[in-house]
Amino acid sequence: MGIGWLSHPEPWLLDRIANEQILNESFQALFQREGNHNLSLYLTNIYRFFGLWVSATGALTIIYTYLTRLGAPLSRMLIQIIYLFLLIGATYLLLTYIPSSHFRYLVGAFWVIYIISVWSGTQLKKLDT
């Protein structure tokens, strides 16, 4: 997702339907309004920063997980707690502001992956003792 926001020429269009639903206005109408001629540059910069942030956070998590193999039960628990709060927050925002968005499938997949991760952590805990 982050790499898509970094590389797409108009990254706000990747989730156009959700954005227009929140704004209750099309991007075409928004860009045509007087005083908004630089809005596309602003949105591009915001999405590029967000894409960089998402990509860097994902890369750091993957590298940390690969190097440590989450060998310490405390590290597993802390990462799972952080991801639980992220998933709860993302689910709340999605269901509150953009319930008809295609992102609901992505969030559903993340919940399945999270549950598998927690279950796998409990299996590793058996090996820790």
Cα distances (angstroms) measured from residue 92 to each of 85, 104, 125: 10, 11, 30
Count the domains in the chain. Answer: 2
Which residues neighbour 121 within 8 Å (Cβ) at sequence distance 6 or greater?
Answer: 70, 76, 77, 80
**pTM beyond cutoff 0.85:** no
88 and 58 belong to one structural domain: no
100 and 123 belong to one structural domain: yes
22 and 53 belong to one structural domain: yes
62 and 24 belong to one structural domain: yes
116 and 80 belong to one structural domain: yes
Q: Domain of 122? A: 71-129
3 and 50 belong to one structural domain: yes
Residues 30-70 have pLDDT tens digits of 999 999 989 999 999 999 999 999 999 999 989 988 888 77
41 and 77 belong to one structural domain: no
